[in-house]
Chains A and B, each alone.
Chain A
């Protein structure tokens, strides 16, 4: 039984893969909390597609595709901020316009190249077994930058997510903090490309954070739980992938989705099935429960 757990760790590429997915779970888990609290899932999805031209240009120039992706992400996120700040077009629409535009630019650029199909596959679905030591170093550095920035600006991020009008009245520069968060989000997405790929990265941002939201009402606990669930899903998914031959990105996301499903149904306080069972067998007056909760809390 023990060897079932330790076997994969004997290969260097699997060690790299495990470390990478744990890091991605933590970084996306923390960023994802603010993505779901601010309702920015669409933006996360869009950003992950919008970095495509950066990847292709990096490929054409022979540079590191992570750096190309990062530059594209920052350009697109600043563009979204710029357009929506004009006030004539909603943020949502600006995201829609720029993300498809950027993605199309990537496709057009790619069509000028030959022999890119394999690398495109890597971009779309990740290539976790190809994670190098250099990739890991880059992931650690980006991760530290993202987490330290979030920690440093925790109060501003919280204020803006909770109450934008009050944040503005307190003198916060909303535009600047929105851009800062977009850049952090872009960084989290880019370092996830190698492990889960562009299509599935949204799940790493949204699913663990959403699961954590179901479990707790405390923001700090929510961030910690989201990181934990993200990393655990990553670990478990890699084992599934290793033994069942399922693509790693898909396995990781499926595990995260399964955890979400279980929590959604069975979480003792709020789970749909557990509350139904409780109502049926124990408490004929669930509304009385809620009242007491408020008084006691």
Chain B
């Protein structure tokens, strides 16, 4: 599949997948994925349940070895020890009754790169606080993780990820089940990361969110159904091919502050 770049000119390829396939026993989860992600790009992965969005993110993070094909980060094969490619899991994976404060949970993002013989330094604490500030959670640094709302928990995961060297952030459904302030915070954060040259790849079910917050869309259903700029990809025939059923695309009035199509998905027949 041809490598495509979005509108920004000075972007360099950072994560390159070539002929990627993943099989679980006799079932195929992903096949023939070739994709190039560039620095500063915000990429949304769209597709129905079981389309392989999470699997693709985990392969990018080096957590699942591909059955076939390669993933390279800056020209080197990816491993899950790579601290510049950070995976942010769904909230449901963690134990939210665990006795740990927001700050301590954030600091765990540094655990792999700090000496086990010493406690975290003052500088580490300051960096963690700065990360929390970026997701507007610094005022709750000493709160218990279990006392937070779903959206706040998602922010702590993000703060933890922001502590890494942060060339590529892989987020598994960051917009799912979070409140409006958290969604707004995420959109702002994506914008800032884009300007800093961090590539963001996130899985989502929300077509509208994908249309407005990403500059590159990958429609996935085991294989890549389509990829490109939101306005190129999010058309009725292509969406119908990816999701099945009936899809109606409604373009918003130009007076609304958006240049991307606003999309609603009708119930599949």
Q: Which residues on A are within 8 Å of B, measured CB to CB?
A: 37, 152-156, 158-159, 161-166, 168-172, 213, 216-219, 222, 290, 293-294, 297
Q: Which residues on B are within 8 Å of A, measured CB to CB?
A: 58, 61-63, 79-83, 86-87, 89-90, 93-95, 98-101, 104-105, 108, 111-112, 116, 140, 142-144, 147-148, 157, 160
A162 touches which of B81, B83, B94, B148 (Cβ 8 Å)? B94
Across-interface contacts of A218 in B (CB, < 8 A):
99, 101
Give Cα A152 to B116, complex, Å.
6
When C-beta atoms are compared, the residue in chain A nearest to B79 turns out to be A171
Across-interface contacts of B94 in A (CB, < 8 A):
162-163, 165-166
When C-beta atoms are compared, the residue in chain B nearest to A213 turns out to be B99
B98 touches which of A37, A170, A171, A297 (Cβ 8 Å)? A37
Please determine whether A153 and B116 come into contact, CB atoms closer than 8 angstroms: yes
B95 touches which of A162, A168, A171, A172 (Cβ 8 Å)? A162
Give Cα A152 to B119, complex, Å.
11
| Minimal beta-carbon separation of B184 from chain A (angstroms) | 21
Q: List 14 A-B contacts (CB under 8 A).
A: A152-B116, A155-B111, A161-B98, A165-B90, A169-B58, A169-B61, A169-B89, A170-B111, A171-B83, A217-B144, A218-B101, A219-B99, A297-B144, A297-B147
Give Cα A293 to B62, complex, Å.
40
Extra 6 A-B pairs, beta carbons < 8 Å, given A155-B108, A294-B148, A297-B144: A166-B93, A172-B112, A218-B101, A222-B99, A294-B147, A297-B143
Please determine whether B112 and A171 come into contact, CB atoms closer than 8 angstroms: yes
Please determine whether A162 and B105 come into contact, CB atoms closer than 8 angstroms: yes
Please determine whether A155 and B116 come into contact, CB atoms closer than 8 angstroms: yes
| Minimal beta-carbon separation of A247 from chain B (angstroms) | 34
In this complex, which of A153, A155, A222, A293 has the most chain B Cβ atoms within 10 angstroms of its Cβ?
A155
Given known A163-B95, A168-B63, contact A219–B100 (CB-CB < 8 A):
yes
Give Cα A172 to B144, complex, Å.
25
B108 touches which of A158, A165, A217, A290 (Cβ 8 Å)? A158
Please determine whether A297 and B87 come into contact, CB atoms closer than 8 angstroms: no
Please determine whether B80 and A169 come into contact, CB atoms closer than 8 angstroms: yes
Please determine whether A171 and B82 come into contact, CB atoms closer than 8 angstroms: yes
Give Cα A163 to B140, complex, Å.
20
Please determine whether A293 and B98 come into contact, CB atoms closer than 8 angstroms: no
Given known A169-B80, A169-B86, contact A162–B98 (CB-CB < 8 A):
yes
When C-beta atoms are compared, the residue in chain A nearest to B107 turns out to be A155
Across-interface contacts of A162 in B (CB, < 8 A):
94-95, 98, 100, 105, 108
Across-interface contacts of A172 in B (CB, < 8 A):
112
Please determine whether B93 and A163 come into contact, CB atoms closer than 8 angstroms: yes
| Minimal beta-carbon separation of B54 from chain A (angstroms) | 10
A169 touches which of B63, B101, B140 (Cβ 8 Å)? B63
Across-interface contacts of B83 in A (CB, < 8 A):
170-171
Please determine whether B89 and A165 come into contact, CB atoms closer than 8 angstroms: yes
Across-interface contacts of A37 in B (CB, < 8 A):
95, 98-99
The 8 A-B pairs with the shortest beta carbon distances in the complex, nearest first, are A171-B81, A169-B87, A165-B93, A165-B89, A163-B94, A155-B111, A297-B143, A162-B98
Please determine whether B111 and A161 come into contact, CB atoms closer than 8 angstroms: no
Give Cα A166 to B171, complex, Å.
12
Across-interface contacts of B86 in A (CB, < 8 A):
169
Across-interface contacts of A166 in B (CB, < 8 A):
87, 89, 93-94, 108, 157, 160
Please determine whether A171 and B80 come into contact, CB atoms closer than 8 angstroms: yes
Give Cα A218 to B101, complex, Å.
8
Give Cα A159 to B113, complex, Å.
14
| Minimal beta-carbon separation of B121 from chain A (angstroms) | 14
In this complex, which of B99, B104, B147 has the most chain A Cβ atoms within 10 angstroms of its Cβ?
B99
When C-beta atoms are compared, the residue in chain B nearest to A156 turns out to be B111
| Minimal beta-carbon separation of A175 from chain B (angstroms) | 13
Across-interface contacts of B101 in A (CB, < 8 A):
217-218
Give Cα A285 to B142, complex, Å.
24
Across-interface contacts of A290 in B (CB, < 8 A):
147
Give Cα A222 to B105, complex, Å.
16
| Minimal beta-carbon separation of B200 from chain A (angstroms) | 16
When C-beta atoms are compared, the residue in chain A nearest to B157 turns out to be A166
Across-interface contacts of B98 in A (CB, < 8 A):
37, 161-162
Please determine whether B93 and A294 come into contact, CB atoms closer than 8 angstroms: no
| Minimal beta-carbon separation of A287 from chain B (angstroms) | 13
Across-interface contacts of A294 in B (CB, < 8 A):
140, 143, 147-148
Give Cα A152 to B63, complex, Å.
25
When C-beta atoms are compared, the residue in chain A nearest to B143 turns out to be A297
| Minimal beta-carbon separation of B146 from chain A (angstroms) | 8
| Minimal beta-carbon separation of A245 from chain B (angstroms) | 39
When C-beta atoms are compared, the residue in chain A nearest to B164 turns out to be A170
Please determine whether B116 and A161 come into contact, CB atoms closer than 8 angstroms: no
